[in-house]
Amino acid sequence: RFVDTVAVTVKDEARLLKRCRDRHVSRYAPEVYALPPAASGGAVPPVVVGMGPAGLFAALTLAQTGARPILIERGKAVEKRALDVERMSQAGELNPESNVQFGEGGAGAFSDGKLTTGIKSPHQQTVLETFVRHGAPEEILVLAKPHIGTDLLRGVVASLRGEPGFLPAYHM
């Protein structure tokens, strides 16, 4: 079963929609994500615990509003974490603080880079566009089931860390 979604611009849209009896045809109103208002420069910066997808995007949003968040992560940066994961795979040596579960990028950084998002979320496009700005292929913007791949995803995660206003701190 194939489902296509198409957005078109037509003259006299209201009249056309009134005449159309197909319940699957409706007015297209794109949802655009807008950042919250700029944060006031408080004496204590906000702290985000965990650099998985939720933590990374919470910190990114805070940084974009000028809040200069501090990110605290139990594991290591994704590059060092990749070495720990490889050591586990080849030598059976587990680092309990830096493995496929713990570290920058969260568990998803080592799960082949599949991107599953809430299809009805207004934030979905913003997340995918952010990934593209940080090195993901543009095709993820139009694919029904976007996929980056673990090797590319690690680079995207490392690039996100370089956003202005991020202050990552890792457990060493």
Q: pLDDT digits over 24-54, tens only?
A: 888 877 777 777 777 666 678 889 999 888 8
The confidence band for 87, taking pLDDT boundaries of 50, 70 and 90, is very high
DSSP letter at 74 equals S
Pairwise pLDDT comparison (111 vs 57), residue with the higher score: 57
Q: In terms of pTM, does the model score above 0.85?
A: no
**How confident is the model at residue 116, as a pLDDT?**
62
- Is-contact 99 75, C-beta < 8 A? yes
- Is-contact 154 78, C-beta < 8 A? yes
CA 77-109-34 angle, 5° bins: 90
Phi and psi at residue 170, in whole multiples of 5°?
A: -115, 150
Determine the residue type at 92.
Answer: G
Look at residue 74 and tell me whether its pLDDT is greater than 70.
yes
> Chain-centre distance of CA 120, in angstroms?
15
* 7-19 pLDDT per residue, tens: 888 888 888 888 8
Dihedral angle over CA of 97, 128, 55, 38, nearest 10: 150
Please give the Cα distance from 81 to 95 (Å, whole number).
9
The confidence band for 172, taking pLDDT boundaries of 50, 70 and 90, is very low
**How confident is the model at residue 117, as a pLDDT?**
55
